[in-house]
Amino acid sequence: MQRPYNFSAGPAAIPAEVLEQAAAEMLDWHGSGMGVMEMSHRGKEFISIYEQAEADLRELLAVPAHFKILFMQGGGLAENAIVPLNLSRAATVDFVVTGSWSQKSQKEARKYAAEVNVIASGEDQGFTTLPDPAQWRPSKGASYLHLCSNETINGVEFHELPDLHALGCDAPLVIDFSSHVASRPVDWSRVGLAFGGAQKNLGPAGLTLVVVREDLLGHALPTCPSAFDYRVVADNQSMYNTPPTWGIYMAGLTFQWLKRQREGTASGIAAMEQRNIAKAQLLYEAIDNSSLYVNKVAANCRSRMNIPFFLRDETRNDAFLAGAKQRGLLQLKGHKSVGGMRASIYNAMPLAGVQALVDYMREFEQQHA
């Protein structure tokens, strides 16, 4: 059966192989007589699922041994509070604001940090460019510097993480990598903490991934709930409270799927990066070579995962979306805050899906010329 191509920004498409395996194991996981949703999180069956998922993720993302991997809940929005509760030390924190999500992050941090400084922003350019790190002026003694490495709504991405040491900044870098986690490698030498909701590129909604350097544990504010204290979560192998067992299981299946991916001699995340570059290039070229569609983001920071575009004649938006749905191209309507269209082409989206979208876009343009 040919499934429609789902361009949702999140919750998003999950690889069909993963869904099929989960369906096959729904009533009886590996002869245990239980489905994963029915298992005790402390039983040997689920512990084996959790341990395999953590090991596979560590291998895929090449996470160094001095970082802890935490499986939490609450999504990226909750981490906007949980990060300052753990890392701000009730002092100064810095933010680089590049779109809707980093804007929300800095607003939330003001509840917990003594001072929040927005040291750079792309707002004056409509969040269509990234501020040049060479122009950043980090605060002296800041507890951390936060940025969103891929803005899901605005479609801007840091293709290279900033080197804070080169900027004379000793603060750890915190990244929200929700919408491009596992789409490319991470330079952990430049990162202190990374967090992301799983529902875009790793599995279903309900699971939140946190990867945190060990020296950043143990500094939570006294008001931080125990279940959100990274030290407590790490010391209890993410099981201080009942974890999102189904989400961890589904993410684990996705990690195994990622490990099986190949592009030439590349495998895993390296293969996915090649594939994602090719998909993004195909769609951006179609937009740029069109007289009907436009993408407003600067070429050097266009997201590979989330591609917003607009019809120059927006009276045709409804017709475009209706025609797309008829062709099995789903959830292309842009975020309500920016309008237009948005194609989210995460790891689970095959090149054929992007080609189908490009073919439809060209056909629609010809019909409405």
User: Would you name the residues annotated as active-site residues?
Assistant: 101, 176, 200
CA 311 from centre of chain: 26
**Gap between the Cα atoms of 54 and 48, Å rounded:** 10
CA 50 from centre of chain: 21
Closest CA to 52 of 256, 206, 245: 256
Closest CA to 247 of 200, 199, 193, 180: 199
**Gap between the Cα atoms of 208 and 189, Å rounded:** 22
Pairing, β 5-6 against β 329-330: parallel
- Helix/strand/coil percentages in the chain, nearest 5: 40, 15, 45
Count the Cβ atoms, other than its own, within 10 Å of residue 125. Answer: 15
Phi, psi for residue 136 in degrees, rounded to 5: -70, 145
Strands of the sheet containing 341-344, edge to edge, are 293-294, 306-311, 341-344
Closest CA to 162 of 196, 138, 126: 138
User: ω before 11 within 30° of 0 (cis)?
Assistant: yes
- 112: which residues sit within 8 A by CB, 6+ positions away? 81, 84, 85, 88, 90, 221
- Beta bridge partner(s), residue 266: 263
Q: Is 332 exposed, middle or buried (0-12, 13-18, 19+ CB in 10 A)?
A: buried
Residue located via tokens 């590349």: 266
The SS3 assignment for 143 reads coil
